[in-house]
Amino acid sequence: MVFPLAQSQFIAVTSYQSSAITKLKVDNNPFAKGFSDRETFISPYSQSYASFLPPYTPFVHPL
């Protein structure tokens, strides 16, 4: 069964504002080791983060 969504935009959030939560994740999840590299970390609230997102283009359903 398929449910088409006429207009949707999804953004995955992979950062945490709490350094304690980030440390807990890194310490307990072997796949989260990338979080420990703070040199390459880009906050989703920084201006440079927006440069990684594609431009928003609203979907218009052809009638």
Query: Per mean pLDDT, which range of 4-8, 19-23, 27-31 is the poorest?
Result: 4-8
Angle 55-58-60 (CA atoms, 0-180°, nearest 5)? 145
Q: Look at residue 26 and give its three-state secondary structure.
A: helix
The fraction of the chain above a pLDDT of 70, given in percent, is 51
User: pLDDT tens, 42-57?
Assistant: 555 555 666 667 777 7
Asked whether the beta carbons of 42 and 49 are under 8 A apart, the reply is yes
Q: How many CA atoms lie within 13 A of 6 on its CB side?
A: 4
User: What's the pLDDT at 55?
Assistant: 76
Confidence of residue 20 (pLDDT cuts 50, 70, 90): confident
The mean pLDDT of 17-41, rounded to a whole number, is 68
